[in-house]
């Protein structure tokens, strides 16, 4: 039989210390895991409480099951008046109720005809979650959502926005829950789509309306001695050099030292079409001396005119 070797006293004390530290670390890890689990459960329950149960809406398809009674088990669709037709009971309110509330109401009414009825109501097809999109998008009109949907998800469903969209004026209109009056929601489509600010990607609600106007008044017009005179869409940080390059550059007849920008003036209530000022840019000097300060930032509605050289 082997003899068990005894550790010296100082070695045993170090072993005990290490074991104690290990136990403490294990307890700490377990405690952190327990706290994380509790926090996750707390936040998820809070989110569910804020989210609330689903409320039946117009055109939703329902399956009503009456236990042990095939004649009272059927599929129904919620009518435009928010009601359904049901045997023995006639018209019943459905819109605005949860499936559980509606099942309880049917059970109470059926108790006059059937002994202890057991009824369940389930939503088999959601058709009432409708939103509306108008303006510079690939597909306008009404969109029926089947699940919770954000702005980006909706724009993806309809094919996205068009190049002519003015995102600075785009808006989301939502009905006030108390009065039903239309109210503008505080959300920036420009920040969401151009600056990737996902805090603007809010969840849509029933009957929301998105309006995305065109940017016609903000377009930049380039005429004269460029290779491809055109109209381009205004964007932030667009400069006169960007616009000239977009138009293919100067022709050989361009008078590059007298390029003009015709700019509408702001008269307090908005851009005035009748009041303009003219800016002049000497491209020869700007390119020769690399003066970036001469590369003027463009404003919405600017017209760039490149005159023809007489020589």
Residue 223 is assigned to a structural domain of this protein: yes
As for how many domains the chain has, the answer is 3
Per residue in 298-311, pLDDT (tens digit) is 998 999 999 998 76
In whole angstroms, what is the distance from residue 308 CA to residue 311 CA?
A: 9
Say which CATH number the domain at 173 has: 3.10.560.10
Residues 137 and 118 in one domain: no
Does 185 map to a domain?
yes
Residue 266 located in a structural domain = yes
Query: Do residues 141 and 201 share a domain?
Result: yes
pLDDT at 75: 94
Q: How confident is the model at residue 237 (pLDDT cuts 50, 70, 90)?
A: confident
Is residue 221 domain-resident?
yes
Q: Closest Cα partner for 121 from 68, 81, 82, 76?
A: 76
- Does some domain include residue 243? yes
> Average of pLDDT values for 181-190?
94
Report if residue 4 sits inside a domain. no
Tell me the mean pLDDT in the region 70-86.
93
Average pLDDT over residues 142-159: 93
Note down the domain range covering 232.
Answer: 217-306
pTM for the structure as a whole: 0.61
Q: What is the pLDDT of residue 14?
A: 61
The answer to whether residue 201 is domain-embedded is yes
Question: Rounded to an integer, what distance in angstroms lies between the CA atom of residue 174 and that of residue 185?
Answer: 7
* Contact assessment for residue 304 and residue 243, using Cβ atoms and an 8 Å cutoff: yes
Check whether residue 231 and residue 289 sit in a common domain. yes
Give the residue from 99, 125, 151 where a domain finishes: 125
What's 114's domain CATH number? 3.30.1950.10
The per-residue pLDDT for 260 is 94
Asked whether residue 272 is assigned to any structural domain, the reply reads: yes
Domain boundary among 107, 125, 143: 125
């Amino acid at each position: 039989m082997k003899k068990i070797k005894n550790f010296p006293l100082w070695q045993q004390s170090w072993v005990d210390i290490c074991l104690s530290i290990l136990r403490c670390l294990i307890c700490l890890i377990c405690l952190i895991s327990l706290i994380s689990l509790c926090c996750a459960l707390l936040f998820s329950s809070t989110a569910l409480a804020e989210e609330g149960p689903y409320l039946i809406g117009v055109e939703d398809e329902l399956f009503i099951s009456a236990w042990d009674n095939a004649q009272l088990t059927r599929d129904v669709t919620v009518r435009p008046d928010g009601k359904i037709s049901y045997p023995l009971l006639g018209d019943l309110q459905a819109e605005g109720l949860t499936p559980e509330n509606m099942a309880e109401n049917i059970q109470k009414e059926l108790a006059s005809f059937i002994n202890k009825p057991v009824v369940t109501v389930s939503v088999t097809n959601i058709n009432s979650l409708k939103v509306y999109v108008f303006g510079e998008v690939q597909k306008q009109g009404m969109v029926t959502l089947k699940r919770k949907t954000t702005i980006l998800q909706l724009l993806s469903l309809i094919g996205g926005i068009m190049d002519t969209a003015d995102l600075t004026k785009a808006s989301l209109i939502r009905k006030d829950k108390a009065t039903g009056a239309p109210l503008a929601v505080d959300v920036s489509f420009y920040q969401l789509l151009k600056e990737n600010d996902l805090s603007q990607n809010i969840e849509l609600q029933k009957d929301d309306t998105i309006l995305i106007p065109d940017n016609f008044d903000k377009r930049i017009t380039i005429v004269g001695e460029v290779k491809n005179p055109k109209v381009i869409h205004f964007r932030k940080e667009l400069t006169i050099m960007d616009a000239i390059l977009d138009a293919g550059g100067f022709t050989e007849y361009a008078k590059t030292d007298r390029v003009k920008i015709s700019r509408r003036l702001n008269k307090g209530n908005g851009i005035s079409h009748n009041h303009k000022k003219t800016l002049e840019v000497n491209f020869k000097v700007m390119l020769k001396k690399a003066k970036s300060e001469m590369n003027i930032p463009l404003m919405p509605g600017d017209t760039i005119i490149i005159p023809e050289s007489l020589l």
